Amino acid sequence: MLKGKKILLGISGSIAAYKSVILLRLLIKAGAEVKVVMTASAKQFVAPLTLSTLSKNEVLSELSDNDSWSNHVMLGRWADIMVIAPLSCNTLSKMSTGLCDNLLMAVYLSAICPVVVAPAMDEDMWNHATTKDNLKKILSNGNSIIPVEEGELASGLIGPGRMAEPESIIIWLQEYFLEKKSFVGKKILITAGPTHEAIDPVRFIGNHSSGKMGIAVAEEFLKRGADVTLVCGPTSEIIPPGVHVVNVVSAAQMYDACIKEFADANIAVMCAAVADYTITNIADKKIKKDDGKLLLELEKTKDILQSLGASKKEKQFLVGFALETNNEKENALKKLTAKNADMIVLNSLNDSGAGFQHPTNKITIFDKSGKEYEFDTKLKVAVAADIVNTIHQLYNA
């Protein structure tokens, strides 16, 4: 499972750094290619020579030395995953605030690969409210955390704070790469963005949706090996290469595209903010202003999610979103049933950091049995991982 995987091992200053030597050896034995980046204080615990000998790669720790410059951007692009083990309290705090004062932090901040950390600290530091806040922050930024273990600590105390054993980290990584492939061979249909309903050749009725959430879900499925089709309304967001994009403008175009693409899809996730009403008669020339009022006649659009729910085959899994401002849970559950979805993702505009235009979102998921899955406010990329994890769990149940 780890054969050929490119792993960037970050080591920060903690006595648990000695376990990183074992971790490195296990990774190499499993066939992974490993490059090591360490902080200056980590060098007090393990010698770079040990790590370079085991990894057969130069160990990097300085942003630059006298005559060369370490390319932190390329390291972050090279890796399939960055594993920071051990993660000291100090490096955790830098990760949470973005303090870039060494190579490890520069690589972390420019890494486009997923990052997982294995914290190591003494019990009291581990239990400190600031540590908890910092962990929450890095989780919400999309990082994963391998839980600490309980046992004897460097201080002699017995309690939580020990870095996970190298064998546990290997198991975590094996499961991670297995899960990453969990949607191979599956076609996923996703809608994203707003729709624009034309009034005349220069005006339209739209909404504030940016498309960020749907695009993040598309990217997450792509990472897990799926064949992803994104039916996307007007957006200025960048769509990751590898996603099949069907660009649409109006709700009617989005409907037609979804009906066509759903026929052979395994899973559909309806993230788009589709207009509920469209103009009955679109003017073919620009409407000129006059002294009176302008009345627009609107008619209902077709509900895409509901139509897919009505035609859904037994093996197809359908996910809806519910954007609510009041009676959130009640309304979300109503939509789940009325539209025959298998799962609904609720976001409430009453939660700070949730909804349109924000880089973050706060969601609660409900499944068909009414079971509730609650999540913290997170960056939309991290929210996308939660959504895809929950789909994975329910789809395979």
Q: Which two tokens stand for residue 340?
A: 């025959």
For residues 244 and 229, the answer to whether their CB atoms sit within 8 Å is yes
For residues 144 and 387, the answer to whether their CB atoms sit within 8 Å is no
- Shortest Cβ 343–ligand CTP spacing (Å): 11
Taking the CA of residue 335 as centre, how many other CA atoms within 13 Å lie in the half-sphere pointing to its CB? 23
Helices (H), 98-195: 103-110, 123-127, 129-140, 166-180
- Shortest Cβ 273–ligand CTP spacing (Å): 6
CA distance 365 to 353: 17
- Map 317-344 to HEC letters: EEEEEEEECCCHHHHHHHHHHHCCCCEE
CA distance 145 to 25: 21
- Shortest Cβ 320–ligand CTP spacing (Å): 4
Helix (H, G, I), strand (E, B) or coil at 30: coil
Q: Decide the pairing of beta strands 244-247 and 267-270.
A: unpaired
Peptide bond into 194 cis (omega under 30): no
The residues binding ligand CTP (CB under 6 A) are 191, 251, 270, 272, 274, 276, 301, 303-305, 320-323, 335
- Shortest Cβ 373–ligand CTP spacing (Å): 17
Taking residue 370's Cβ as centre, other Cβ atoms within 10 Å add up to 10
Contacts of 58 (CB under 8 A, 6+ apart): 52
Across the strands, what pairs with 270? 191, 320
Q: Taking CB positions, which residue lies at the least distance from ligand CTP? A: 304
Taking residue 218's Cβ as centre, other Cβ atoms within 10 Å add up to 30
Q: Helix, strand, coil % (nearest 5) of the chain?
A: 35, 25, 40
Give the residue numbers marked as catalytic: 207
- Shortest Cβ 275–ligand CTP spacing (Å): 7
Give the residue with the Cβ less far from ligand CTP, 86 or 355.
355
Give the residue with the Cβ less far from ligand CTP, 59 or 304.
304
- Shortest Cβ 229–ligand CTP spacing (Å): 15
- Shortest Cβ 346–ligand CTP spacing (Å): 9
Give the residue with the Cβ less far from ligand CTP, 321 or 395.
321
Q: Which two tokens stand for residue 293?
A: 């009022």
Query: Smallest Cα–Cα separation from 387: which of 353, 349, 345?
Result: 345
